[in-house]
């Protein structure tokens, strides 16, 4: 799987101190990391749902897709 996405990172830096710059950068990366994890999980969930691997991993043969407020979920 190759994960590609673009994002704009807004970094809030409190001072010219290197520690503050690094801290601001780390805080700004959280949403970016979260987006990457969500994309990877959705990709593999769809793949595993299609070939039955997800059902075996979860110990259930009755899986279906659901949506709640625009978010995709798996129903067991």
Task: Assess if residue 7 is contained within a domain.
Answer: no
Task: Give the model confidence (pLDDT) of 18-58 as tens digits.
Answer: 999 999 998 888 888 888 888 888 888 888 888 888 888 88
Task: Assess if residue 8 is contained within a domain.
Answer: no
Asked if the model's pLDDT at residue 74 lies above 80, the reply is: no
Task: Assess if residue 3 is contained within a domain.
Answer: no
Cβ neighbors of 12 (< 8 A, separation 6 or more) are: 24, 27, 28
Q: How many domains does the chain have?
A: 1
DSSP assignments along 13-32, one per residue: --SS-HHHHHHHHHHHHHHH
> Which residues constitute the domain of residue 58?
18-75
Residue 73: in which H helix or E strand, if any? strand 71-75
pLDDT for res 17? 93
């Amino acid at each position: 799987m190759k994960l590609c996405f673009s994002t704009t990172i807004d970094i809030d830096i409190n001072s010219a101190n290197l520690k503050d710059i690094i801290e601001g950068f780390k805080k700004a990366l959280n949403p970016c990391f979260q987006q990457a994890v969500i994309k990877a999980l959705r990709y593999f969930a769809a793949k595993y749902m299609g070939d039955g691997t997800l059902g075996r991993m979860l110990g259930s043969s009755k899986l279906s897709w659901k949506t709640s407020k625009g978010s995709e979920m798996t129903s067991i």
